[in-house]
Amino acid sequence: MSQKIVKNRFHLVREGRTQILADPQFLKWLHKLGFEKVGEIFEKTQLDPSRGGRQGLRVFCPDGRHDHRFVVRHYAHGGLLRRLLGDRFFLGSRPFREMMITEEIRKRGIPTVHVVAALCHRGWGPFYRGELITEEIPGARDVVSLLFDFGKAPSKREHLLRRETVRHAGRAVRLMHDRGVYHGDLNLKNILAQTANRHDPGVFIIDFDRSKIRKSLSTRHRMRNLLRLNRSVEKWNTKGAGISYTDKARFFQAYADGDSQIVHTMRRHLKGARIRAR
């Protein structure tokens, strides 16, 4: 196993035909637990069907601490490419790029996951398969599963939690945009909420594959991100998520934070989106 330090303090490790970009603290932790190779962790993972992802997500806690788990996300194509290539990618290293960009986003103060390792398994020719390993956020669930649990008649506690989660999500997305981050796939599944404190739920934005960081984000890019999120809302509403006009209004109010220009721009773009949908 060879190892060298690369940009942003990460270590590049080679295990056979697998390249691993890893947080050195994660490597030390595995070594203390008796792991000789990062690849050994996959023998201890378990599929968690309650989690999203095209092929599901696997979790593991090799030290027996269920309050300190790690999540493994396997990369796979969507749409037509999924039938043609499945989980094989051509050239590049998407897991490495996502790890680097997520670390930069964390440095900018945007609430997100801590990526501890990214893996690229080199196969035939220029093709590879990839995984991303992140620390699990304790008690966090994606907004979609949360909404379905609330149902059509939420209790008083659930109603308060729903209201505050929507508001905190609006503030989190605004913070992300203010700090120059354009999310490559902003949808409800990529927004997580910690529900222990119904008055102050923690909200996290995840999955920054194909995302971009700029010095500042234009109004056009902000609206494009928000319209993508709105399409996700409409999609899940057709499946019974029950997201109301009031929920949307709370989100956009929190996002605008009193900025009348943003309110006007959002109304104009949403109106145009409704007309196009019809």
Q: How many Å apart are CA 247 and CA 253, to the nearest integer?
A: 10
Q: Which two tokens stand for residue 22?
A: 């890893």
Residue 117, Cβ density class (10 Å: 0-12 exposed, 13-18 middle, ≥19 buried):
buried
Q: How far is CA 47 from CA 52, 57, 67, 156, 185, in A?
A: 11, 6, 17, 34, 24
Both structure tokens of 68: 């300190």
Using CA atoms, how far apart are residues 178 and 180, in angstroms rounded to an integer? 6
200 has catalytic annotation: no
Which candidate, 38, 29, 42, places its Cα nearest to that of 1?
38
73 forms beta bridges with 57, 132
Q: How far is CA 184 from CA 6, 98, 230, 262, in A?
A: 25, 11, 14, 21
- Chain Cα centroid distance, residue 258: 27
Nearest C-alpha neighbor of 182 from the set 253, 105, 99: 105
End-to-end CA gap in the chain: 58
Catalytic residue among 23, 63, 185, 257: 185
Rounded CA gap, 218 and 222, in Å? 6
Instruction: Look at residues 191, 81, 93, 95 and name the one whose alpha carbon lies nearest to residue 146.
Output: 191
Q: Which residues are designated catalytic?
A: 185
